[in-house]
C-alpha cells in the first residue's frame, strides 16, 4: 500500500529502506536540507502509526537529545514518558564495591524513553515534511547500484530510483546482503527478558547494572516509582524467566537487587529478545549507505544502539549537505566516505570495548570473577585512576565531548 502524504514524482533524491527510528530520523534530517526522500517499509501503516509497547526503554545521551531536538522529534515525546537518569551503578554479585557514574551538577546523565514512543514521534515528525513520501506494505526484492541512479525493485513490480539508497532495515539487513556487504556477527548465546516493575522506594533516577552469577539484572529508572527490569540470561534459561508468574518474577527481582527498591511488583507484560551484535564490514558503497543497526548493532549493556544511529544520521546529513551545496552527486563514493570514516572511528572502539566488558562480566570462571572484583575495587580505592577511566566512560554515556566532524 502506498500512503501519499504528498504528491511526489516517482523518483527521489534518497531512498530509505526501513521506517524504524533511525530511518525516520534520517528522513527528517534530509528533508531539512531540501532533499526529497522516499521511505520504503514492509509493515502496514497502522502498525507504524500505533506501535505496540515492546517493553524496551531506550537510553538517550546528551548528544542524541540535541540531534532529536534539532530534528523536531524530541518535541513530540509525551513529557511524562521522559525519565531522567542521574546516576548509573555497576555491581558484581554480592561484592560491596560498585562502579559509579554520576551526572555533573543538576544535569542528567541521560534520559530513558520507551522505544514505542520514539517510533511514534519519529514517524509523526518525518511525515510532517512535504518532501517525505512513505510507502508501506512494500517489500524490496532487488537492488541495483550501477549507473547514474540506484534502483530498487519491489515485490509488486514497481521500481524506484534515486542517486542514493540508505539501508536502515535492522541488524539483519537484507539490503546489506543485496549490496554485497558482509558483517561480523557475534551471537552472545543470551536473551534479554524485559518487564516493567513498580517499587516501594524511590529509585532516585539511579540505574543499576547487577552482574549476578548466572544472569545480569539491570534496573532502569522510570518516573513514578517504576523501573524497567532487564534480565540477560543464557538463552536456554530465558523460558524459565518468561514462565514465572508476576509474584515469583517480582520476588526474584527484589532478591537479586538486594532489596534496594523495597517491595516490588510486576506491572507489565514481559518480552524476550535474543542478543546478537553486528558490525558491518563497510558502511558505504557507490550509491549505497548503511544506517542504524544495519551498520552497527550493539549489545544493550552500554545503551549505545539508537544513540549511534542518531550520530550516524547527523554525520551522513552533513556529508550530503556539503554535496548538495557543491553540486556533487549524492551517491558518489567520495561523498559518502567521510560518513564511513567518522562513524567507524566513533563506533568501533565502543563496539569492541562493550563486547570485552560483556565477556568479562558474564564469564563464570574463577579468573574472571577475580578480575571483575579487582576492577570494582580499583574504582573505589584509586580515585585518580578511577576518575580518568570513569570520565572517559561518562563522555561515551552522555555523548558529550565526542568528535562530530563529518569530514567536510
Q: Do the domain assignments include residue 232?
A: no
Q: Do the domain assignments include residue 216?
A: no
What range defines the domain where residue 23 resides?
A: 2-81+114-185+278-358
* Contact status, residue 336 vs residue 287, Cβ threshold 8 Å: no
End-to-end alpha-carbon separation of the chain, Å? Answer: 39
Q: Could you read off the pLDDT tens digit of each residue along the chain, which spans 408 residues?
A: 444 333 334 379 999 999 999 999 999 999 999 999 999 999 999 999 999 999 999 999 999 999 999 999 999 999 999 999 999 888 876 665 667 777 766 689 999 999 999 999 999 999 999 999 999 999 999 999 988 899 999 999 999 999 999 999 999 999 999 999 999 999 989 999 999 999 999 999 999 988 777 788 999 999 999 999 999 999 999 999 999 999 999 999 999 998 999 999 999 899 999 999 999 999 999 999 999 999 999 987 666 889 999 999 999 999 999 999 999 999 999 999 999 999 999 999 988 888 777 766 565 555 555 555 555 555 555 444 444 444 444 454 555 544 333 334
Closest CA to 112 of 61, 72, 48: 61
Q: Identify the burial level of 362 via C-beta atoms within 10 angstroms of its C-beta, where 0-12 means exposed, 13-18 middle and 19 or more buried.
A: buried
Q: Do the domain assignments include residue 318?
A: yes
pTM for the whole thing? 0.88
Residue with cell 502509526: 49
pLDDT of residue 239: 95
Q: Do the domain assignments include residue 395?
A: no
Give the CA dihedral 267, 268, 270, 276, nearest 10 degrees: -110
pLDDT of residue 146: 86
Q: Do the domain assignments include residue 285?
A: yes
* Contact status, residue 301 vs residue 277, Cβ threshold 8 Å: no
Q: Do the domain assignments include residue 303?
A: yes
SS3 content of the chain, % helix, strand, coil (to 5): 40, 30, 35
pLDDT of residue 374: 54
C-alpha cell at 394: 561518562
**Angle CA(67)–CA(305)–CA(12) in degrees, nearest 5?**
60
C-alpha cell at 284: 558505504
Closest CA to 228 of 143, 132, 113: 113
Q: Do the domain assignments include residue 214?
A: no
* Contact status, residue 361 vs residue 216, Cβ threshold 8 Å: yes
CATH code, domain with 140? 3.50.50.60
Residue with cell 560491596: 96
Count of the separate structural domains present in the chain: 1
Local structure of residue 293 (DSSP, 8 states): G
C-alpha cell at 359: 565477556
pLDDT of residue 162: 96
CA 205 to chain centre: 21
Q: How far apart are CA 83 and CA 114, in angstroms?
A: 9
Give the CA dihedral 165, 170, 171, 177, nearest 10 degrees: -40
Go through the chain and tell me how many residues it has: 408
Q: How far apart are CA 2 and CA 333, in angstroms?
A: 31
Q: Which residues contact 138 (CB under 8 A, 6 or more apart)?
A: 2, 40, 41, 42, 154, 155, 156, 158
Q: How far apart are CA 289 and CA 179, in angstroms?
A: 9
Amino acid at each position: 500500500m502506498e500512503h501519499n502524504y504528498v504528491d511526489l514524482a516517482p523518483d527521489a533524491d534518497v531512498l530509505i529502506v526501513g521506517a524504524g527510528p533511525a530511518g525516520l530520523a534520517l528522513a527528517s534530517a534530509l528533508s531539512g536540507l531540501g532533499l526529497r526522500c522516499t521511505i520504503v517499509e514492509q509493515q502496514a501503516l497502522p502498525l507504524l502509526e500505533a506501535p505496540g509497547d515492546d517493553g524496551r526503554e531506550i537510553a538517550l545521551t546528551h548528544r542524541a537529545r540535541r540531534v532529536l531536538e534539532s530534528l523536531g522529534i524530541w518535541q513530540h515525546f509525551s513529557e511524562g514518558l521522559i525519565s531522567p537518569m542521574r546516576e548509573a551503578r555497576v555491581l558484581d554479585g554480592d561484592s560491596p564495591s560498585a562502579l559509579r557514574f554520576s551526572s555533573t551538577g543538576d544535569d542528567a546523565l541521560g534520559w530513558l524513553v520507551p522505544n514505542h514512543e520514539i517510533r511514534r514521534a519519529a514517524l509523526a515528525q518525518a511525515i510532517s515534511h512535504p518532501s517525505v513520501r512513505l510507502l508501506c506494505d512494500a517489500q524490496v526484492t532487488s537492488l541495483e547500484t550501477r549507473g547514474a541512479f540506484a534502483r530498487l525493485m519491489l515485490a509488486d513490480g514497481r521500481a524506484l530510483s534515486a542517486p542514493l539508497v540508505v539501508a536502515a532495515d535492522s541488524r539483519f539487513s537484507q539490503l546489506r546482503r543485496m549490496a554485497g556487504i558482509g558483517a561480523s556477527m557475534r551471537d552472545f548465546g543470551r536473551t534479554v527478558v524485559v518487564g516493567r516493575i513498580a517499587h516501594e522506594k524511590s529509585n532516585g533516577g539511579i540505574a543499576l547494572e547487577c552482574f549476578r552469577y548466572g544472569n545480569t539484572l539491570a534496573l532502569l529508572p522510570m518516573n513514578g516509582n517504576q523501573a524497567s527490569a532487564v534480565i540477560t540470561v543464557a538463552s536456554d534459561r530465558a523460558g524459565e524467566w518468561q514462565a514465572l508468574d508476576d509474584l515469583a518474577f517480582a520476588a526474584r527481582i527484589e532478591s537479586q537487587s538486594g532489596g534496594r527498591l523495597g517491595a516490588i511488583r510486576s506491572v507489565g507484560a514481559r518480552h524476550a529478545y535474543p542478543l546478537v551484535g553486528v558490525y558491518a564490514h563497510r558502511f558505504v558503497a557507490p550509491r549505497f549507505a548503511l544506517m542504524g543497526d544495519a551498520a552497527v548493532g550493539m549489545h544493550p549493556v552500554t545503551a549505545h544502539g539508537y544513540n549511534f544511529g542518531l550520530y550516524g544520521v547527523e554525520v551522513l546529513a552533513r556529508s550530503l549537505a556539503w554535496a548538495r551545496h557543491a553540486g556533487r552527486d549524492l551517491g558518489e563514493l567520495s561523498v559518502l566516505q567521510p560518513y564511513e570514516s567518522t562513524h567507524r572511528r566513533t563506533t568501533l572502539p565502543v563496539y569492541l570495548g562493550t563486547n570485552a566488558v560483556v565477556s568479562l562480566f558474564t564469564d563464570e570462571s574463577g579468573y574472571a570473577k577475580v578480575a571483575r572484583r579487582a576492577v570494582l575495587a580499583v574504582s573505589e580505592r584509586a580515585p585518580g585512576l578511577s576518575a580518568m577511566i570513569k570520565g572517559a566512560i561518562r563522555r561515551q554515556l552522555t555523548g558529550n565531548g565526542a568528535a562530530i566532524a563529518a569530514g567536510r
